[in-house]
Structure 1
Amino acid sequence: MATLTSRITLKGDEPAGPEDYLSTSLGVIFPDDVTNQHGDAEHSLIYASPKLPRPLLIELAEPEGETDRRLFSHYLWNASLLLAELIERDSLEAESEAGTTEGLGEGLSFDTRGLSTVELGAGTALPSIMAGLLGAKSVAVTDYPAPAVMKTLRDNVARNIKPEFAPLGSDSSSSLPVTTDITVEGHEWGVFDSSSPSSFPASHAHSADRLFVADCLWMPWQHANLRRSVNHFLKKTATARAWVVAGFHTGRAKMAGFYDAEALREEGGVEIERIWERDCDGVERAWDVEREDDITVRKRWLVVAVLKRCEGMVFE
């Protein structure tokens, strides 16, 4: 099994100084170390999947001031890589309706064909790009409404969601339909009223069959707002799902609060259907709030959670 980061390479100048050479050599010096953030404004990324006919070009935002820099939207994170890979795998599986996921996610499917998707905190929009190439009905991509972030998102989506990048379907005779219903808008988590800079929250309320949340849990002070955005955009149906994939950048304790059952129910209108941990080599283990890993080990791991509507929030 290929490692999670094997699909990513830098496009741009070769390393120019000692610090650059050191950063690109860490995997050789420390074999257990793994890169969990990729690229910068000077080095765009090439994403090459064996199932895509040609590589995708992913640009990174140039932060404008300290506020933008604190968003960390100028990197591609491993959570996005994993979610995009899961979407690709199950959307290309002929029997995905039955749930093709093995291991701790057995019985679940990350198929997005024919479904409306919304991504929160998209960064580079890789999961949304994959969904758009693989037959999603519609794709809505959002991130904090900073001009540099939004420009990069729009450019990435326009460049990559095209028929020439779409893989063949499971019968290898034709490409899956590429969505033309694409929206890229700014959205500040928890803001839905007239203070919002656009009409997007109102026009897309409860529109998502599948909601993507990749590496958005490192700010515990934003958990409540993020849960409210999940509640706002996720459809109120029994089949709607939010897929939340996150790394341990600020430590397990700080990110784990997002999954508090009462807060998810009261603020998000959702509950956990399944949650587990997966490392960059595909090794899985049970979710454990109390587990302690050193910083090198925790960089290798991600938490995958599937959220569904609470029973009282379902209106078919």
Structure 2
Amino acid sequence: MLTDKIHLPDDLEPTPEDIMSSSLSVIFPDDIQNQHGDSHTSPTYLSPLYGPLTLSLADPKTETSRTLFSHFLWNASVLLAEYLEEGPFPLFETRDCSVLELGAGTGLSGMIAALRGARRTVITDYPAEEVVANVEVNVKTNLRERGRGGDVEVWGHEWGVLGEVEDNGVSKRYKGGFERVLVADCLWMPWQHSNLRKSIAWFLTPSPKSNSSTSPPKRDETSSIPPHHHPPSPTHPYTPSDGGRAYVIAGFHTGRAKMAPFFDAEAMRGDGLVVERIWERNAEGTEREWRVDRGEEDKDVTGRKRWLVVGVVRRVGEGE
């Protein structure tokens, strides 16, 4: 179970919200916790390879910061961290890559990429002081103070604000500079889809043309080891010919209708991107093909919380 990788402190006095949240599993047996912790409760990600990572959560000071919901750890971040850590490889390889995380929240995925051996890691979120400072705390606690993770930077970045002085020159400096871009649970704001796509396209390195798929990766497309249990291996390093890839994962808790337009082929191409592969996975690890609409299933709020979409995105190739 995906949520088994998350541990919350046992010695805290439960709040009314905690009691209500925990009771949902009794009232609704199929319900699943899809957000973890708050500004007063630090969840721990139980990494099978790198040990426990304690994640501080931001205490939002403004209405804008609060409505971004970066002050929780979401299941999409947990799943992306799992893919980066356990594979399948080389599809989710970040070793020796330059890696950027957008809308980082806790910075979990970026830190896992750094621990795995990324050549350079830049972790970004909305440029609110408390949000960026919180990511800095997590990087310091889990990487720098332990002398691991290599070259990691933390910056504020507002999606779609590119090549301008407002972002301290980050976008201008790093244009086309990342072989891997990480995006977790950032699709619930349809009005920001184009800005997010533009940021992905801006930062991502060019990619050769490749076939697309709406099905989960097959075992023979990755390795002979079962998916999600592939240990890090120097036999699957990143090579420049692979081109840049963005991993975009999001939970369906806010509704498929809000998220699906992000992957619209025409809108993607208009912002310089193409979906190379896309599929769905639930918290138990079951995978299935991607669909824009699943009818009555999408109306079941409890059921859809268990599912996430996983997309692998690249830049449109030259002459494509």
Give the TM-score band, short-chain normalised: 0.7 to 0.9
Q: 2:128 maps to which residue?
A: 146
Matches within 5 A, 1:124-163: 124-162=106-144
Q: In 2 relative to 1, CA 304–264 (structure 1 residues): closer, same or farther, beyond 3 Å?
A: same
> Pick from 83, 102, 108: which aligns with 1:120?
102
In the alignment, structure 1 residue 203 sits paired with structure 2 residue 173: yes
Q: 2:274 maps to which residue?
A: 271
Q: How many residues matched?
A: 283
> Pick from 281, 291, 294: which aligns with 1:291?
294
Q: 1:181 maps to which residue?
A: 151
1:155 to partner: Cα distance: 0.8
Q: 2:284 maps to which residue?
A: 281
Cα separation, 2, equivalents of 1:190 and 1:262: 18
Q: 1:301 maps to which residue?
A: 307
In the alignment, structure 1 residue 6 sits paired with structure 2 residue 4: yes
What is the one-letter code of the residue matched to 1:68?
A: S
- Relative to the length of structure 2, the TM-score reads 0.84
Q: In 2 relative to 1, CA 155–137 (structure 1 residues): closer, same or farther, beyond 3 Å?
A: same
Cα separation, 2, equivalents of 1:51 and 1:32: 30
Q: 2:231 maps to which residue?
A: none
2:281–2:307 contact (8 Å) kept in structure 1: yes
Identity of aligned residues (%): 51
Cα separation, 2, equivalents of 1:6 and 1:199: 40
> Pick from 63, 84, 88: which aligns with 1:87?
84
Cα separation, 2, equivalents of 1:82 and 1:214: 9
Q: After the TM superposition, which of the residue ranges 188-197 and 78-87 deviates more from structure 2?
A: 188-197
Cα separation, 2, equivalents of 1:198 and 1:140: 14
What is the one-letter code of the residue matched to 2:315?
A: R
Cα separation, 1, equivalents of 2:33 and 2:280: 17
> Pick from 216, 234, 258: which aligns with 2:204?
234
Matches within 5 A, 1:242-281: 242-267=246-271, 269-281=272-284
Q: In 2 relative to 1, CA 313–253 (structure 1 residues): closer, same or farther, beyond 3 Å?
A: farther
Q: Secondary structure at the match of 1:22?
A: helix
Q: 2:29 maps to which residue?
A: 31
In the alignment, structure 1 residue 214 sits paired with structure 2 residue 184: yes
What is the one-letter code of the residue matched to 2:250?
A: A
1:20 to partner: Cα distance: 2.4
Aligned-residue Cα RMSD (Å) equals 1.9
Q: In 2 relative to 1, CA 70–12 (structure 1 residues): closer, same or farther, beyond 3 Å?
A: farther
1:51 to partner: Cα distance: 2.3
Q: Secondary structure at the match of 2:47?
A: coil
1:313 to partner: Cα distance: 7.1
Q: For residues 34-82 of structure 1, what are the alpha-carbon distances to aligned partners after superposition, in whole Å with 9 as ceiling and x for unaligned?
A: 0111110110111112322x31110000010211110100001111000
Q: 1:16 maps to which residue?
A: 14
1:86 to partner: Cα distance: 0.5
- Could you tell me which runs of 5 or more consecutive residues in structure 1 were left unpaired when the two chains were aligned: 100-108, 166-177
1:15 to partner: Cα distance: 3.8
Q: Secondary structure at the match of 2:193?
A: helix
What is the one-letter code of the residue matched to 1:79?
A: A
1:189–1:229 contact (8 Å) kept in structure 2: yes
Q: For residues 119-175 of structure 1, what are the alpha-carbon distances to aligned partners after superposition, in whole Å with 9 as ceiling and x for unaligned?
A: 11000111111011111101000110001100101111121125958xxxxxxxxxx
2:83–2:92 contact (8 Å) kept in structure 1: yes
Q: 2:64 maps to which residue?
A: 67
1:12–1:42 contact (8 Å) kept in structure 2: no
What is the one-letter code of the residue matched to 1:264?
A: M
- Could you tell me which runs of 5 or more consecutive residues in structure 2 were left unpaired when the two chains were aligned: 209-242
Cα separation, 1, equivalents of 2:13 and 2:282: 28
1:312 to partner: Cα distance: 1.9
Cα separation, 2, equivalents of 1:150 and 1:243: 21
